[in-house]
Amino acid sequence: MVHTSRGNRNRHARPSGKEVCYERVGCFKDDLTWWTGILSRRLAGLPWSPEKINTRFLLYTIHNRHDHQEISAVNYSTIRASNFGTNKMTRINIPGWNTNGKWQRHICNTLLQVEDVNCINLDWLNGSLEYNHAVNNLPVVSAEVAYFVDILRTKFGYPPSKVHLIGHSLGAHLAGDAGARIPGLGRITEAYFSLDCNHARSHRFYAESILNPDAFIAYPCRSYDNFKAGDCFHCPKEGCPTMGHFADRFHLKNTTNDRPYYFLNTGTFSPFARWRHKLTIKLSGNNSTNGKLFLRVGGTIRKTGELEIASGKLKPGMTYTTFIDADVDVGNITSIEFTWKEYSFKHSQNRLGAEMVTDVSGKYGYKSTFCSPDTVDSNIPQILTPC
């Protein structure tokens, strides 16, 4: 280790201008010029040594889903002796500060349900217990990641293009800094979405997107208000991206200077996956009344719960449309069940029915239409059949 100092230009400035060099990972300064991404949050300080930080690479594969194998670029014989497959993609999960790795293990476990990959969880907990230390130590850890990828290239002929870095919170900054050090890196994903994404939940959204990519379809729209109003449904001919793991399958074809915006809804609680439907009811009946309209949508996979379509004045001959984010994937739609509930507690002779129900769903806008000539009393289900 080499430790140097250039001194300060005035005695009132906080200490800066120092540099420390470590074998294998290079030299680092404390003058805040190394990276502009978090200048406003960084307190000047030199990073710890790689030995003190003790960055670890924990490998999971389909052959060891639940018990990691610790591999090391310094002792790369551990890579050769492990289940690391040079014919597979490698995905490295990078946490933020003071993270014990629980979400990383969950992502690896989920990934290995759908992919035969090398899933590596980065552990830098020793160097990230306190936020300021984590920020100062981050460049050393990112250099460790770059060194690891370079050892894969030089000792195993493994191309950086097959490496995908997945970062959350400060780990997303770390992934970006590591990526800047790795020519030809395959992909970087920041598990930190905007405009209004819950920071703490973003890695959970990512994990769910692995198993249910079509539940995280994002629709191009001018604003969230336009999206809520249904002005941007369904996907345009060039398609829609999906948020999360499979986002790289969508290739933006927009060649204008206007930055596109994409919107989607998630559930309030887990599971967060949602499948968007446009549901339209043409109402029939003998009298107008006040109440609510509901549908249940059944398909080849599952059936939704009761979905509220409209409330207030219910008038036969009128058409009611709403957009629903269902919490289950129904598959191909096979059945529609209609129910209406009158506000009045008094017994009435009013009867209403769904003369026609149209469902438009999925990124391709699949349309299903169901009909019935019947009307029913309040709280009595009506079963519709394909028209």
Please, what are the averages of pLDDT over each run of 10 residues along the chain (387 residues)? 41 55 92 53 79 98 97 98 98 91 92 98 95 92 98 98 94 92 84 50 90 94 94 89 90 66 92 96 96 97 97 97 96 96 85 97 90 96 96
Both tokens of 325, joined, read 């984010």
Say what the alpha-carbon torsion angle 225, 226, 228, 234 is, to the nearest 10 degrees.
Answer: -160
Both tokens of 17, joined, read 């201008």
Q: If DSSP codes are grouped into helix, strand and coil, which group holds residue 214?
A: helix
Distances (CA, A) of 145 to 27, 113, 179, 314, 361: 15, 25, 9, 62, 42
Distance CA 231, CA 214 (A): 20
Q: If DSSP codes are grouped into helix, strand and coil, which group holds residue 155?
A: helix
Closest to 287 in 3D by CA, of 316, 311, 320: 316
What residue ranges do the domains of the chain occupy? 23-192, 213-263, 275-386
> Which residue(s) pair with 278 in the sheet?
323, 360
How much helix, strand and coil, in percent to the nearest 5, is found in the chain?
25, 30, 45
Please determine, looking at this structure, whether the domain spanning 23-192 carries the CATH number 3.40.50.10140: no
Give backbone dihedrals phi and psi of 199, rounded to 5 degrees, phi first. -60, -45
CA dihedral sign of residues 286, 291, 293, 296: negative
Q: If DSSP codes are grouped into helix, strand and coil, which group holds residue 343?
A: coil
Distance CA 285, CA 71 (A): 70
pLDDT at 5: 40
Say what the alpha-carbon torsion angle 125, 128, 130, 136 is, to the nearest 10 degrees.
Answer: 160
Both tokens of 96, joined, read 């933020």
Domain 275-386, CATH class in plain words? mainly beta
